[in-house]
Structure 1
Amino acid sequence: MKPIVEVTLSWLLKNAKGRDAKCFYNRPAFAKHPEQTIEVTSPDCGPTDAQLGMEYTADGSGRFPALEWTAPPVISDKVKQWLLVSEDPDAPLPTPIAHGIFGGIPPSKTNVEAKDFEIDDESKALLKGGFHYGVTRRGVPYIPPRPLMNHGPHRYFYEVIALGEPLDPKLLNSKSTREQIADAIVGKVLGWGMWVGSYERVWK
């Protein structure tokens, strides 16, 4: 998209931001868990609300920021799987853009890094980190941040969800959608937390 067209779109859609109410963690599966109980940080980028460096965006190499998380014993002792969802609530669309959906993360794994998100077996939607990826708009495991130019800073939510029951392997192997995963985790959520990174593109 040419910069002038992108900037014009940004001006027209300047108020189309902040779709937090429609984020994944506000789905019915989280009704009993409205507050965060899991601490998520990024060894690469720092504490939550950090500015994403270019290498973690589509303007750079598009690396997934390393994440690590800690849950209180009342949660961690019951976890059967972790789920990781990345989305942009500031995209000028009716609902947040899903940048990545990753299910089947083993209970013993409480951190991820960029190499974990390389494809291991596409036929099973399996990644080298030992977990699976779902459907994104571009058909890739992860879409790096690329907000509209001059649309202001966009926040990117990296949500870690603790599940008390594992997801169906057939669902995980089938490149499931955000909606399918949201329905499948009803009654399974033990708690959640998120790390937030922000990024802005400006036409100079």
Structure 2
Amino acid sequence: MKYVEYGFSRLFANAKGRDAKLFSKGPAFSQFSNPTIDIECPEVGASGSQLHEDHSADGAGHFPTLRWPAVVASSAEIKQYLLISEDPDAPLPNPIIHGIYYGIAPTVTEVTAEDFVEVESGGPHALHGGWKYGQNRKGTVYIPPRPLLGHGPHRYFFTLVALTQPLDVSKMSPLPTAEEVLQGIEGNVAGWGQWIGVYERVWK
């Protein structure tokens, strides 16, 4: 299987860069073409840094710690955050959704791996951090990075979105998709930030 995977990655070596289809390129961001919130990852470093093995499927698969300053929108007070992780470098028509999280309280300024542990006390799809998760490619809480062997570096975009109104999930699926969430936040975006981690699986 290792040889098959490597051969597939060589065949689609140039099938990367679906940046135009990233979540932050959607119509909800028409008033905010550039990030307005600074996102840090103290475990890894500046945006564009190499993720540790423990942040990947090759290791523990931990969600990286992300940190941002307290933010107040100029037009309205922030009521909620949402967070999405996606890979635009997979050889597919659209970026792979690795995780999407909604209902993050406006007082939150940091997320850690422990926050993404599923708990029963908060109802379906509830997480230890106090928010919920939506639909990713596998229907799990989070898909740790695992790019195709030999496909080169993949970028993993972690996008935080500040909302002027809480997301109305009553009109969405029990496990909301990125498309549903993107439609649901239209007109309610107060700003956003982005941190990118890079990971590669090399033939050894």
Counterpart in 2 of 1:16? Answer: 15
1:66-118: CA deviation from partner (whole Å, max 9, x where unpaired): 00112654459711000100000101100000000000000001110000000
Counterpart in 1 of 2:86? Answer: 87
Query: Are residue 51 (structure 1) and residue 14 (structure 2) matched?
Result: no
Tell me the matched-pair count: 203
TM-score where L is the length of structure 2: 0.94
Counterpart in 1 of 2:126? Answer: 126
Show structure 1 runs of 4+ deviating over 6 A: none
SS at match of 1:160: strand
Counterpart in 2 of 1:104? Answer: 103
Deviates more, 1:133-142 or 1:76-85: 76-85
SS at match of 1:48: coil
Counterpart in 1 of 2:158? Answer: 158
Contact 1:157 1:194 in 2 (8 A): yes
CA distance in 1, matches of 2:127, 2:89: 28
Contact 2:73 2:191 in 1 (8 A): no
CA distance in 1, matches of 2:194, 2:92: 22
SS at match of 1:180: helix
Contact 1:133 1:175 in 2 (8 A): yes
Equivalences for residues 1-204 of structure 1 within 5 A:
2-70=1-69, 72-74=71-73, 78-121=77-120, 123-170=123-170, 174-204=174-204
Structure that is richer in strand per residue? 1
Pair 177,169 (structure 1): closer, same or farther in 2 beyond 3 Å = closer
SS at match of 2:60: coil
Structure that is richer in helix per residue? 1
Contact 1:133 1:172 in 2 (8 A): no
Contact 2:79 2:165 in 1 (8 A): yes
